[in-house]
Amino acid sequence: MESEDQPVHKGIRKGLYLIPTAFTAANIAMGFLAVLASVRGFQIISASPEQAAIYFDYAAKAIGLAILFDTLDGRLARMTKTSTELGVQLDSLADVLTFGIAPVVLAYCWGIGATFDESNSLHNIGLFVLFVYLMCGVLRLARFNLQATRPRVLLEGTPKIDKKNFVGLPIPPSAGLIAAIVHFSPTPISILGENVARFYTIALMVLTAVLALLMVSTLKYSSFKNVGTGRRNFYLILVLGAVGMLVWLYSQYVLLIVAATYVGHGVVWYLMSLLRSRTGTEANAETG
């Protein structure tokens, strides 16, 4: 017979902890499937580039779904007040796979590895760039965990913690931009012709290097953590519904625009702050 002092909803409370973990597991599953689809597409590029494009598109979509699951697990954990240190660490390990390794494998199979032979120096440069991207992503996640769990022991000079903004480009939208590009044009770059393939692959390498630098930078990026917590949830539902419909109808264009806009807005904010600072300095000099 159960004790009368035992809370009636204790079992339900314990079950709530499983909900964010389930979304994290889904995130891991998407990363796993993205890697397998990328490798399978790479294997059949020569035999069937059309089928390879389908696999690359699968991988890109898996990374996109993983971003959705990653967003939901954190928000649900905060809504249900079931955030734990174990959940934070598990989420970071999942992000290493899904937003670190999976986009690296996709970028290699879709572009670099298919375009440049291993004897080509650009192939080795491409491998180095992908490794730098992965390392910067891991460092970005480590810095985020440090700031989230022990913000007071950070070294002097580290940017202050701001719940409204991230310090540096988060790894999910970084991977999302690579996935959005592949989703926009899943056809393997190598079949576009030698010169065109060479140009686009080098552009992909440059973009990957830029994303790596943005992840370890101190630029501010909006976290959107306060979105949906105010009194304007009705308008938020309308916006999400409209965006969802646009993604359903024009996913190749909308996802690329959204990903590029988010990655670029941190740089725009930084340039605008420099401009305001310079304008203020000049104004003070004139009045001084």
Task: Place 155 in a pLDDT band, splitting at 50, 70 and 90.
Answer: very low
pLDDT at 247: 86
pLDDT at 19: 75
Position 152 pLDDT exceeds 70: no
Task: Place 193 in a pLDDT band, splitting at 50, 70 and 90.
Answer: confident
Range scoring the smallest mean pLDDT among 45-59, 66-80, 157-171, 258-272: 157-171
pLDDT at 1: 43
- What pTM, to 2 d.p., does this model score? 0.84
Position 281 pLDDT exceeds 80: no
d(CA 54, CA 110) in angstroms, rounded, equals 11
Position 188 pLDDT exceeds 70: yes
**Spans of all domains in the chain:** 10-287
Task: Place 174 in a pLDDT band, splitting at 50, 70 and 90.
Answer: very high
Position 150 pLDDT exceeds 70: no
Q: What is the pLDDT of the chain when averaged over all its residues?
A: 83
pLDDT at 52: 95
pLDDT at 242: 85
